[in-house]
Structure 1
Amino acid sequence: MRTRIIDRFHTLFERWFSERRLFLRSDRETRFIRLRPGTQALLLLGSALTIGWTIVASSILMMGAIGSGNYREQTQRDQAMFEERLNTLSEARDTAEAEALAAYRRFNAALAQVSQMQSKLLDSEEHRRELETGIGVIQATLRRTMNERDSARAETAAMVARFENGPDAASDGTSLARVDETLAFLNSALETTAAERDEMKVETDRALEEAEAAIFERDLILDRNDKIFTQLEEALTVSVEPLEKMFSAAGLPPSRLLDAVRRGYSGQGGPLTPVTFSTKGAEPSADEVRANTILRGLDEMNMYRIAAEKTPFAIPVKSAYRFTSGFGPRWGRMHNGIDMAASTGTPIYSTADGVVVEAGWHSGFGRMVKIRHEFGIETIYGHLSRLNVKDGQKISKGDRIGDMGNTGRSTGTHLHYEVRVDGSPVNPMNFIKAAKNVL
């Protein structure tokens, strides 16, 4: 039965492959190998499969090499663009801070001018009221004096008539002379009073003109202050909102961070002291309320800046690198960080201010650095070839803490980078992506 099936198999390929014999001759004898049609077909098929597999494998290897080169070049370009974007955003942030500080100084100068103008205006108002009171007293005195003058003239006329017509005219000469003296004194007093009245009126008009000029200048200052307030408010909105979104995107509640910064920096004074002009316990004016709101916003933005320096938003590798593994399950185990590959000796930098709590050999991590930051955050840098820090050392953001290597359980030169919040690992890309368009 088996022979019959084999014969049918060979018969099936006789149309394409005829039976062949290979003769092998030696000095003593001659032998041959019989190649039946089915055998030839199997040999041809095996050769074709081998050649095809070789071609496919070579193509895959070549495409992988080309793709790896393109991916590396693309990564380098993305890295360069990202660094350029970071530099641009950093310059824009510095410019915005400088503009805000300059506007704040202009605002303080304007407030000082407003205070001076208010003092001048109050003085001019008080002087005007004094002048009005003086003019009223002078007018009352003038009316009384004029009434006394009219009475004196009437008495004089009566006395003159009595002197001229009566028998006792000679005896009234002394009284008439005394009346003339009184009239001369009254006329002199009236002339002096009228001159003082005219002088007071001129002085009052001049004071009113100065008061009007002071009011106009105050209105100009208030309008300029309103524009400054508006620009500062807009600048604060543009600056603070992205910072709040950055911390929220990283999984860090902004209110918690600000409370922590306030506890660490509880001193007061300096340029962010609340503005007040009243010393009598009066309610603050609208400008004072607005100014204090802006100052609180500037203080909040400053605290966000302090928190950003102490939070690992930066990238530990500034040179060109390949992102080789992300955060999450890998090969049936949890990968608690990200892997970035580059050449041995590539500098590794701290991603935030902090204190080194461990620097040395750590089982699977090889040479490792662990840094404790504020807000319960820690960062871990593993598989380093060299360490530049030691336990207990204070570190600033951007300090070089070691070099990339292949120590510990590692399949190639790379950096294993972890971020832990309150002891639990989180995805470092949350911090890097959150700060991409802000810092």
Structure 2
Amino acid sequence: MTALPVRRFLRRVVVLTLVAALAVWVWPRLPGAARAPWHMARLAWQEAPSALPVPVQGVMPARLADTWGAARAGGRRHEGIDIFAARGTPVLSTTEGVVMQVGTNVLGGQVVWVLGPGRQRHYYADLDGYADIQRGQLVAAGDVLGYVGNTGNAKGTPPHLHYGVYDGGAINPYGLLMAAPSISRSLTERR
């Protein structure tokens, strides 16, 4: 009578061991998009950051201006901040995250969306071009996403990055970027 439960237990151990071995072998061979759901779930459990590095290479927090809420055409309000830099300056991910979208839209022109810790979405817009990234890719803080430009409704303005953070609704990223000057320096100096 006791041999049957022991055999079942051993069979389960063997099956679980084989499944774990298969997972360890398969995981590195999966394309980035196939691993995205795991990373998205992991990021959702993390705390949203209380400070963020400046997402434009070489720009220090002291150069930022809080353009949140400024009037825009059609009665809209600015839901982000504009970070001015030379055209083509690398735009860096502020957090670890999963690339949700690489594409274009009417207002933002060439844009990248990254899902970061705490399910916050980070919006990088008015880009002049993209880095070698794709939807579903895991990125680290400091990875290049694209390059400063003035696409979308920013045509005719000086080159800049429009950076927004969304957590349910839009939140002002200015305070988050000003809270971490040492992080910003470390990201820009390592590039």
TM range (shorter): 0.5 to 0.7
2:106 to 349, 363, 376: 363
Amino acid corresponding to residue 128 of structure 2 in structure 1: S
Alignment of 1:67-106 (within 5 A): none
- The reply on whether 1:425 has 2:170 as its aligned counterpart is yes
Mapped to 2, the partners of 1:319 and 1:340 lie a distance apart of 11
Which structure dedicates a bigger proportion of its chain to helix? 1
Distance 2:181 2:149 in 1: 27
Q: Distance in 1 between matches of 2:151 and 2:165?
A: 20
1:413 counterpart residue number:
159
Work out the CA distance in 1 between the residues paired with 2:54 and 2:165.
Answer: 12
The one of the two structures with greater contact order (alpha-carbon pairs below 8 A, sep at least 6) is 2
Instruction: Provide the rounded CA distance (Å) in 2 between the counterparts of 1:336 and 1:376.
Output: 18
Task: Tell me if the contact between 1:371 and 1:379 (Cα under 8 Å) persists in the aligned partners.
Answer: yes
Contact 1:368–1:383 (8 Å) recurs in 2: yes
Equivalent in the alignment of 1:379: 122
Cα 1:428–1:436, aligned 2, differ >3 Å: closer, same or farther? same
Distance in 2 between residues matched to 1:335 and 1:416, nearest whole Å: 10
Q: Please tell me whether Structure 1 or Structure 2 has the larger radius of gyration of its CA atoms.
A: 1
**CA pair 433-324 structure 1, distance change in 2 beyond 3 A:** closer
RMSD of the TM alignment (CA)?
2.8
Q: Which amino acid aligns with 2:83?
A: M
**Shift in Å, 1:325:** 5.6
Q: Secondary structure at the match of 2:114?
A: strand
Which residue does the alignment assign to 1:319?
A: 58
Kindly report structure 1 stretches of 4+ aligned residues shifted beyond 2 Å.
Answer: 320-325, 433-439
Pick closer, same or farther for the CA change 1:328–1:360 going to 2, 3 Å: same
Query: Which structure has the highest strand share of the two?
Result: 2
Q: Percent identity?
A: 33
Post-superposition shift, 1:364? 1.3
Q: Is the partner of 1:330 in helix, strand or coil?
A: coil
Structure 1 unaligned regions, length at least 5: 1-259, 265-305
Is 1:312–1:352's contact at 8 Å kept on the other side of the alignment?
A: no
Gaps of 5+ in 2: 1-40, 185-191
What TM-score do the two structures reach when normalised by structure 2?
0.62
Alignment check: 8 A CA contact 2:52 2:95 kept:
yes
Task: State the match for 1:392 in structure 2.
Answer: 136
- Aligned positions, number: 136
Letter in 1 for 2:67: G
Question: 1:436, CA displacement in angstroms?
Answer: 3.7
